[in-house]
Amino acid sequence: MPPSPPAPSAPKGGLIADSIRKTFRIGPKSIDVLRGVSFTVQQGERVFLCGPSGAGKTTLLYILGGLEKPDGGAVLINGNSIYSRSNAAQADLRNQLTGYVFQNYLLLPELTALENVCLPAIIGGHNARSRAASLLDQVGLGSRLHHLPAELSGGEQQRVAIARALVNDPPFLFADEPTGNLDSRTGADVMNLLLSLVAESGKTLMVVTHDTRLADHGDRTLVLRDGSLESS
């Protein structure tokens, strides 16, 4: 398969992935998970990243969002080169520019829904209690602010996770298999909610999914296979 083409230039409000490479080592073996992946996401786009299991989709998403450093290449968000900065500066950019929705929700079990949503703002040094409450109301959980994750269904926990991702009003949202642990009806409801909130706020969304039916909701689909982009 030919390598991915170089990433075109993007406006300041976009995302550029330029020649992203990542290799994992398991004992004496090296596995090239990403082989020079390049592409651009325009501001306000909804891009779905698909591909077979083990293709490197989640690894790529984490690299794009500043969660995992690549072995080579660069990521620019809103004109900011993420990995050319110190660890502290990278953390600040993640907090300001990105929000995450994970497949397993990753809510802290000892915190209420409201407290979980407030966490990114607290990390950024802000008091966002009223905004967090408003977001929980937007996602249909206005009456569940003080419930612990164990007292919520899977769909409700993912709604809390969506509110948490939005609390700092980041321009970019990354979602890793956001419906993967939900039944089809609940998953559809959660995805529709996420797309609606993104459309209302004009945010850029990138979603990893194995479900090609979900990808039909996006503006564009990228297919990752054997560490390279197959099509876009």
What string of DSSP letters covers 126-188? Answer: ---HHHHHHHHHHTT-TT-TT--GGGS-HHHHHHHHHHHHHTT--SEEEEESTTTTS-HHHHH
- Per-residue pLDDT averaged across 144-163, rounded? 97
Confidence class for position 26, pLDDT limits 50, 70, 90: confident
pLDDT at 7 over 60: no
Q: Which residues contact 150 (CB under 8 A, 6 or more apart)?
A: 109
Estimate the crossing angle of helix 129-138 against helix 113-123, to 10 degrees. 130
Region for residue 34 given its phi and psi (left: phi exceeds 0; alpha: psi -120 to 50; beta: otherwise):
beta
Give dist(CA 14, CA 16) in Å, integer: 7
Confidence class for position 112, pLDDT limits 50, 70, 90: very high
Estimate the crossing angle of helix 113-123 against helix 154-166, to 10 degrees. 30
- Per-residue pLDDT averaged across 33-62, rounded? 93
Q: Strands 29-41, 15-26: parallel, antiparallel or unpaired by DSSP?
A: antiparallel
Q: Please tell me the predicted confidence (pLDDT) of residue 197.
A: 93
3-state helix, strand, coil split of the chain in percent (to 5) is 35, 25, 40
Q: Which residues contact 155 (CB under 8 A, 6 or more apart)?
A: 182, 186, 189, 190
Domain 15-231 fold: Rossmann fold (3.40.50)
Phi then psi for 197, rounded to 5 degrees?
-65, -40
pLDDT at 37 over 60: yes
pLDDT at 4 over 60: no
What does the pLDDT look like over 64-108, one tens digit per residue? 999 999 999 999 999 999 999 999 999 999 999 999 999 999 999
